[in-house]
Structure 1
Amino acid sequence: MTSDTGPDRYLQRMPKTDLHCHLIGTVRATTFAELARRSGLDLPASPETIYRDVNSLPPDPKLYEHTRIPVPRGRAADEPEVSYSLFQVSRWIVEALRDADDLTRITYEAFEAAHRTSSVRHLEVSFDSVPTHLESLGYRGAVDAYAEGIRLAERDFGMSGRLIAAVDRSTSAEQALARVREVVDNPHEYVAGIGLDNLETAGPPERFADAYRLAGEAGLRRTAHSSEHAPVAHNTITCIDLLGCDRIDHGYYVLEDDEVVARCRDERVPFVVAFTTSRRSWRPWRRASIAAMIDAGLNVILADDDPGLFPTTLADEHRIASEELGLDREKLRAMALAGVDACWLPDGEKEALRDRFGAEFDTLDAEEAAV
């Protein structure tokens, strides 16, 4: 619960962008419960229990034996007896969706929650390929449904939003190319770019060079999960140089290579990060890694990734930055403005958003000074 005064109030009210948010990961527990029961989904436990016990177990610890920031090997104190992985729960959520109205609903609710809990002014959400049971919608029908949710949120909350077409890195190069070709052949004002999702160890960035080249030629913006699951820094350089990424999602393992850190610092590469993860045992490592990235001078921007499932909010992520990392308001303001600079709005809208942030911060600071 956010207090009416003091630090919590400031962190909740400060204007924000959220540039790394998976749409399926925003679905509320109450919405999933309703959709699952309506659909008669066969689940191993109640929807409420499943949401409560989301916890992705770490992979083979031998992969992370020699990282600069030690990766935890034990269990977290809050790990449930029975865990449900982020990917499994996401699949169940997708199975519970039945039509275009459901897609519009979850999109609208993602924007509503971002606005209400965290004062998000611009939200970019990634969406997956159309599942088989909704294939009658087609790519365009699904995107139109998502876009309707954004339009309603823009009307109701004064926000802006964009969609990011997710490329599943567990698929082949040919499948990824087909996915991007679908996006390119069906241009939509709300689809700003593509992102490379799923476990980094399932598909190296080199596999997707052709798909990303096609996206770049079509004027789409590009990002990718990188240096998140594979404990190497060079994947991030590959994403920048070969895939042409404008920004990087996560990027914690760039800390393994001082030269990569120096280059990314000098080039002001945006790293869109989240303290909270479904791997509960890794949360301390995440926080230590982000602290080290900030100390190294990297361009770090806070996000909330899968806020409905972790659960977290973008205000919560800022609270961690303030209380656990000791970031002051000046630093948080600079990070918020860096989020505006890294967003995928057209230049004119981006400039207007930056002016809005400046005015809102000035008003908020004045109000806080008067308390």
Structure 2
Amino acid sequence: MSLKNVPKVELHLHLEGAAPPAFIRGLAKRKNMDISGVFDADGGYAFTDFRHFLQVYEAATATLQTPEDYHRLTLAVLEESAANGVIYTESFLSPDFCGGRDVGAWREYLHAIRDAADQAEREFGIVMRGIVTCIRHFGPEKARQTALCAAETAGDWLTGFGLAGDERVGKPKDFAYAFDMAREAGLRLTAHAGEWGGAQSVRDALHDLRVERIGHGVRAAEDPALVEELAETGTVLEVCPGSNIALGLFRSWRSHPIGGFFDKGLKVTVSTDDPPFFHTSMTREYDRLADAFGWDDAVFTTLNTTAVNAAFCDDDTRAALLRRLEKSDA
């Protein structure tokens, strides 16, 4: 039985990475851009490893050039998420791709994204909030510019700040200034770690950036002391199993550490990361996790309640989401 209609909460979704391939091809055609190397013979995104994935991701993103492009993208992404039962999503947004980290241009892009999110909430019943992310492999100086964009637009909708990109470039502490800027602006903090950087990258993000959530964090499984620390501190992990398996971090769903994390009492959530790149959806994630670990509705309710309580949203939104989850259990 598919879990498509189970209400779901997603905390780790890259907006550009969720762009349907047909959407990107359509933009490229209208703009006479040659991005043929981005796709495989079946029309999906084509990449060989994580570094190549980043290159393909940025090539596809190059077709998104105006606020209107992002308005259309946001609607397409949220419609797809809602069709898979997602009632709330937090999406990573990058001023690097939206106006080249210029605050004025970023405001225009953000207005378009938020307008589309409001429309999607009316039409599809899905609630969205934004998390600005600096791109690790673009370097600390550009991260400061990104943090300024975030600080200038922080509020009830733009609620978080994070770090994404290639974990093998630099150290979390290199981005401490940008995170301090975001913290002072009232933004809540997350960071990608423990995907390609190993268990130590999780510890570094926690201690040097003082984040409350970790994107991925799965390599923490290699360090029992770190697993204990995560459990004791209640740090929430934004786990994306399908992404990890597609990129070769783990061989199978049953070998993925999310099952062990849950059994040990860690606060784990489930997300898709960049769903069309990894041929996944929130429905597929739930179905495969149910198959791999025998998880039932009660487990998924726990996961979603954890996600709502960890969400970077206001208390009224949180309460409304909890009511929706409770109603679905009745």
What TM-score do you get using the length of structure 2 for normalisation?
Answer: 0.92
Q: Distance in 1 between matches of 2:288 and 2:236?
A: 20
| 2:239 equivalent in structure 1 | 273
- In the TM superposition, 1:100-139 aligns within 5 A as 100-116=67-83, 118-131=84-97, 138-139=105-106
Shift of 1:45: 4.6
Q: Distance in 2 between matches of 1:172 and 1:134?
A: 14
Q: Does 1:358 align with 2:326?
A: yes
- Tell me, yes or no, if the aligned pair for 1:130 and 1:138 is still in contact at 8 Å: no
Q: Distance in 1 between matches of 2:256 and 2:98?
A: 40
Shift of 1:48: 6.2
Shift of 1:123: 0.8
- Tell me, yes or no, if the aligned pair for 2:99 and 2:105 is still in contact at 8 Å: no
- Tell me, yes or no, if the aligned pair for 2:92 and 2:131 is still in contact at 8 Å: yes
Q: Deviations over 1:23-48 (max 9, x none)?
A: 01111122112111111112345856
Q: Does 1:238 align with 2:204?
A: yes
Shift of 1:57: 1.8
Q: Does 1:35 align with 2:27?
A: yes
- More divergent stretch after superposition (20-29 vs 262-271): 262-271
Q: Deviations over 1:310-354 (max 9, x none)?
A: 121011101111001221221111111111111111012201211
| 2:276 equivalent in structure 1 | 308
Segments of structure 2 that go 5 or more residues without pairing to the other structure are none
When residues 47 and 134 of structure 1 are mapped into structure 2, their CA distance, relative to the original with a 3 A threshold, is farther
- Tell me, yes or no, if the aligned pair for 1:33 and 1:47 is still in contact at 8 Å: no
- Percent identity over paired residues: 25
Q: Secondary structure at the match of 1:202?
A: coil
Q: Distance in 2 between matches of 1:329 and 1:48?
A: 36
Q: How many residues align?
A: 327
Shift of 1:132: 8.3
Which structure has the greater CA radius of gyration?
Answer: 1
Correspondence for 2:128 among 154, 161, 179: 161
Correspondence for 2:173 among 180, 203, 206: 206
Q: Secondary structure at the match of 1:353?
A: helix
The one-letter code matched in structure 2 to 1:241 is H
Q: Deviations over 1:199-238 (max 9, x none)?
A: 111121111111111111111011000111012x232233
| 1:70 equivalent in structure 2 | none
When residues 49 and 24 of structure 1 are mapped into structure 2, their CA distance, relative to the original with a 3 A threshold, is farther
Correspondence for 1:22 among 9, 14, 39: 14
- In the TM superposition, 1:1-371 aligns within 5 A as 7-8=1-2, 11-45=3-37, 47=39, 49=41, 51-52=43-44, 54-57=46-49, 85-116=52-83, 118-131=84-97, 138-231=105-198, 233-277=199-243, 279-284=246-251, 287-362=255-330
- Tell me, yes or no, if the aligned pair for 1:277 and 1:283 is still in contact at 8 Å: no
The one-letter code matched in structure 1 to 2:167 is E
- Tell me, yes or no, if the aligned pair for 1:22 and 1:126 is still in contact at 8 Å: yes
- Tell me, yes or no, if the aligned pair for 1:16 and 1:119 is still in contact at 8 Å: yes
The one-letter code matched in structure 2 to 1:355 is R
When residues 190 and 58 of structure 1 are mapped into structure 2, their CA distance, relative to the original with a 3 A threshold, is closer
When residues 230 and 280 of structure 1 are mapped into structure 2, their CA distance, relative to the original with a 3 A threshold, is closer
Q: Distance in 2 between matches of 1:135 and 1:177?
A: 10
Shift of 1:149: 1.2
When residues 30 and 294 of structure 1 are mapped into structure 2, their CA distance, relative to the original with a 3 A threshold, is same
